[in-house]
Amino acid sequence: MHFPAWLKFALKFLLSAVLIGVLLRTVDLAAMGRHLADVSLGPIVLVLLIFAVLVVSNAVRWAVVMKAIDATLPFAKVLEILYIGTFFNQTLPSAVGGDAVRMYLARKAGLSILGAVNGVMLERAVALIGLIVLVVAVQPLLLARIGDNPAKWFFPVLAGLSVVGLIFLMLLDRLPEGFRKWRLVRGVAHLAQDTRRLFLNPVRAVQAVALGVVGNVLISLIVYLLARDLNIPVSVVDCLVLVPPVVLITTIPVSIAGWGVREGAMVGAFAFVGVGNESALVLSLLFGVVIAVVSLPGGLVWLASGYSRKDVERETSAR
């Protein structure tokens, strides 16, 4: 069943609003206000610098992926397009996400349709794999914080499923004839070939996944700096252990830019290290606001590109 784009957006917006509303009803708003009163400019400036490094790191990761599949663009163009995509992901109430915008602009910049689409899809896959690798790597530290909790099995199982999914993706164009009657299988045959070109090239695969890990470490560092600015007693290690699972949960596309889902996950995760609901909620809200604000200049880059959102909507809906 195909749902109208406006209905999907409305449902996501409603879920975000409900989740944040429920959380706000369970916390001491005065305590949240006291935390916000502690915010100072210095750490925020440092956070902005780290975000700039994060954007460049993500652009390098995307460039590595595209080079592996022979779909290259000048790095300045890669950086420009990625920043525009970040703007769309974080700030616009739109049915068109940042990935669709990136595909569109990469195509306009000279890539083939397959190169533009597969490059973005594989970059997203690499980012997710890097996140899962980091979560699994810090699993012993996570267990030390959550104890004998059934949640300890979630991420190792997810890692195993990711490996199986990646292998399946690489073999989609080699499945028995009976499977090829499905349009989806036929449509992703070229994606399967490009997936092999990336992940069966040890140098490119390691580079891309390592950059995926680096990106998530930088996000953890941003959260730590914001927590310290709010006088929330957590360590760098706490953030390195707890933030990646929060980010992983936030990747589930059921809300607007992760709002609501991120807040609930942050409150639940930081409770394991003794952080109160008010502190964790204000930390998550401040993180979301900062990321949205630093993404705004991407809108100026978008306007300078000369394309409109309707251009993207028209092209992506035609495929």
pLDDT digits (tens, 9 = 90+) for 122-153: 999 999 889 888 888 887 777 777 666 666 67
Of the two residues 164 and 64, the one the predictor is more confident about is 64
Q: Give pLDDT tens digits for 19-31.
A: 778 777 766 667 7
Query: And the tokens for 197?
Result: 């070109």
Q: Quick check: 23 and 267 in contact, CB under 8 A? A: yes
Q: Give pLDDT tens digits for 76-111.
A: 999 999 999 998 887 655 445 788 889 999 999 999
Query: pLDDT-derived band of residue 63, with 50, 70 and 90 as boundaries?
Result: very high
173, 193, 175, 189: which is closest to 68 by C-alpha? 193
d(CA 303, CA 88): 12
124, 98, 82, 119: which is closest to 209 by C-alpha? 124
pLDDT of residue 95: 44
pLDDT value at 57 more than 80: yes
